[in-house]
């Protein structure tokens, strides 16, 4: 998508997080990859959300939504208030339980736009490190999380200055392979890993989502 439309899509995500009920509390919103690098057009828009667990459960809502929608866990894994307001965005995993990452994707992203949403309980920086360790241990480089990210929302407020720099393409980052060497990879492995990440991203279409726990 054109860069301006990609940044508009990011701003719409921020607006929703700030003003609308979410399936789970959202603590941070980051963008990374193409849009952070100032590319135009943006092949895929990558958004990272740090979520919190619900602090209380609602057993009555759980039973009601299981009867009415065939989805378990509403009021436990996702907010009952949110599900009542947005039943069209309620999504379940393969076991029939409400899936926070899928619910967030359905709420925040158009289905056909080339946008990827990463949802995790850990901050972006922490997850970059954990994913890199796991990818190196298993030679599964496509699972690496691109470390070149920009935090746009944290502690209940957005960063207008970061958003403006993003819109203007004023942020400067190294290449992916260089960024990976800064995190401890040797040059050859970093080049191989960067190629694997690019090939994996190029194979994705439409809106995609991944949920992760650290």
Please state, in angstroms and rounded to a whole number, the distance separating the CA atoms of residues 83 and 65: 9
Res 61: pLDDT = 82
Answer whether 14's CB lies under 8 Å from 152's CB. Answer: yes
Core vs surface per residue 53-89: b (16+ CB within 10 A) or e: ebeeebeebbebbbeeeebbbbbbbbbbebbeebeeb
Residue 49's φ and ψ, nearest 5 degrees, are -120, 130
pLDDT at 10 over 80: yes
pLDDT band with cut points at 50, 70 and 90 for residue 48: very high
**pTM of the complete model:** 0.93
CA angle 180, 186, 188 (to 5 degrees): 95
Q: Which residues contact 14 (CB under 8 A, 6 or more apart)?
A: 29, 152, 153, 158, 163
Please state, in angstroms and rounded to a whole number, the distance separating the CA atoms of residues 213 and 149: 19
Helices (H) and strands (E) in the chain, counts: 8, 6
Please state, in angstroms and rounded to a whole number, the distance separating the CA atoms of residues 156 and 154: 5
- pLDDT tens string 163-193: 999 999 999 999 999 999 999 999 999 999 9
- pLDDT tens string 77-135: 999 999 999 999 999 999 999 999 999 999 999 888 999 999 999 999 999 999 999 99
pLDDT at 56 over 80: no
> In the predicted model, what is the mean pLDDT of the chain?
93
pLDDT at 57 over 80: no
Res 119: pLDDT = 97
Cβ neighbours of 12 (radius 10 Å): 13
């Amino acid at each position: 998508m054109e860069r301006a439309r990609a940044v508009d899509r990011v701003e719409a995500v921020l607006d929703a997080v700030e003003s609308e009920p979410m399936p789970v509390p959202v603590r941070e919103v980051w963008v990374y990859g193409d849009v952070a690098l100032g590319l135009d057009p943006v092949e895929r828009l990558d958004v990272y959300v740090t979520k919190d667990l619900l602090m209380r459960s609602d057993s009555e809502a759980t039973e009601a939504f299981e009867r009415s929608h065939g989805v378990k866990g509403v009021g436990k894994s996702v907010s009952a208030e949110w599900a009542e307001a947005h039943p069209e965005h309620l999504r379940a995993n393969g076991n029939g339980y409400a899936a926070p990452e899928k619910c967030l994707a359905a709420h925040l992203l158009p289905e056909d736009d080339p946008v990827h949403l990463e949802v995790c309980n850990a901050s972006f920086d922490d997850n970059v490190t954990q994913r890199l360790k796991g990818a190196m241990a298993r030679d599964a480089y496509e699972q690496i999380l691109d470390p070149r990210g920009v935090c746009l929302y944290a502690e209940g407020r957005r960063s207008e200055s970061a958003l403006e720099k993003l819109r203007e393409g004023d942020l400067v980052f190294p290449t992916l392979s260089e960024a990976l060497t800064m995190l401890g990879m040797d040059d050859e492995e970093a080049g191989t890993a960067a190629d694997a990440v690019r090939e994996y991203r190029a194979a994705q279409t439409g809106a995609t989502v991944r949920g992760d726990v650290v």
